[in-house]
Amino acid sequence: MSDTDNPSPLDFRGRGVNFIEDVAVNPLFAGPETTATVPQLRIPDLETPADAAYQIVHDEAMLDGNARQNLATFVTTWMDDQSQRIYLQAAPKNMIDKDEYPQTAAIETRCWTMLADLWQAPDPTSSIGTSTVGSSEAAMLGGLALKRRWQERRRAEGASTERPNLVMSSAVQVCWEKFCNYFEVEPRYVPISEDHRMLDGHDLDRWVDENTIGVVAILGVTYTGVYEPVREIAAALDAIAAAGGPDVPIHVDAASGGMIAPFCQSEIVWDFRLPRVASINTSGHKYGLVYPGIGWVVWRDRADLPESLIFRVSYLGGDMPTFALNFSRPGAQVLLQYYLFLRLGREGFRKVQQASLDVAGFLADGIADIGPFELWNHPTDIPVFAWRLRADHPGTWDLHHLSERLRLRGWLVPAYPMPDDLADLTVQRIVVRNGFSRDLAGALLGDIRAQVRYLDSISTPLPRAGHGEFTH
Ligand SMILES: *Cc1c(COP(=O)(O)O)cnc(C)c1O
**What integer pLDDT is reported at residue 23 of this predicted model?**
75
Q: Which helix (H) or strand (E) holds 111?
A: helix 102-118
Share of the chain above pLDDT 70, in %: 91
Q: What is the DSSP letter of 341?
A: H
**CB of 218 shorter than 6 A to ligand 1:** yes
Report whether pLDDT(11) > 80.
no
**CB of 214 shorter than 6 A to ligand 1:** no
**CB of 134 shorter than 6 A to ligand 1:** yes
**CB of 353 shorter than 6 A to ligand 1:** no
The fold adopted by the segment(s) 84-340 is Aspartate Aminotransferase; domain 2 (3.40.640)
Question: What are 315-357's pLDDT values in tens digits?
Answer: 656 667 789 999 999 999 999 999 999 999 999 999 999 999 9
Q: Which of 51-60, 266-275, 366-375, 437-446 has the lowest mean pLDDT?
A: 51-60
What's the sign of the alpha-carbon dihedral 393, 397, 403, 406?
negative
CB 233 within 8 Å of CB 202: no
Question: What are 67-124's pLDDT values in tens digits?
Answer: 889 999 999 999 999 999 999 999 999 998 888 888 999 999 999 999 999 999 999 9
Average pLDDT over residues 294-309: 96
The fold adopted by the segment(s) 346-456 is Aspartate Aminotransferase, domain 1 (3.90.1150)
CB 362 within 8 Å of CB 430: no
**For the chain, which residues make up each domain, given as ranges?**
20-63, 84-340, 346-456
**What integer pLDDT is reported at residue 28 of this predicted model?**
64
Share of the chain above pLDDT 90, in %: 78
Report whether pLDDT(385) > 50.
yes
Kindly give the number of the ligand 1 atom that is closest to the alpha carbon of 139.
10
d(CA 252, CA 262): 14
- Of 140, 252, 283, the residue with max ligand 1 atoms within 8 A of its CB, to mutate for a pocket test, comes to 283
Report whether pLDDT(402) > 60.
yes
Report the separation in Å between the CA atom of 74 and the middle of ligand 1, taken as the mean of its atom positions: 8
Residue environment code for 71-101, b if the CB has 16+ CB neighbours within 10 A, otherwise e: bbbbbbbebeeebeebbeebeebebbbbeeb
**What integer pLDDT is reported at residue 33 of this predicted model?**
58
The Cα-based distances of 36 to 23, 50, 171, 207 in angstroms read: 9, 15, 50, 63
Kindly give the number of the ligand 1 atom that is closest to the alpha carbon of 220.
13
Kindly give the number of the ligand 1 atom that is closest to the alpha carbon of 222.
15
Report the separation in Å between the CA atom of 185 and the middle of ligand 1, taken as the mean of its atom positions: 19
Report the separation in Å between the CA atom of 106 and the middle of ligand 1, taken as the mean of its atom positions: 26
CB 131 within 8 Å of CB 296: yes
- Of 73, 74, 289, the residue with max ligand 1 atoms within 8 A of its CB, to mutate for a pocket test, comes to 74
**Strand 426-431 and strand 384-389: pairing?**
antiparallel
**What integer pLDDT is reported at residue 301 of this predicted model?**
96
Give me the helices (H) in 209-264, please: 230-242, 261-264
Average pLDDT over residues 224-229: 96
**CB of 428 shorter than 6 A to ligand 1:** no
Average pLDDT over residues 257-270: 98
Confidence of residue 17 (pLDDT cuts 50, 70, 90): very low
Confidence of residue 165 (pLDDT cuts 50, 70, 90): very high
Report whether pLDDT(6) > 60.
no
**What integer pLDDT is reported at residue 27 of this predicted model?**
64
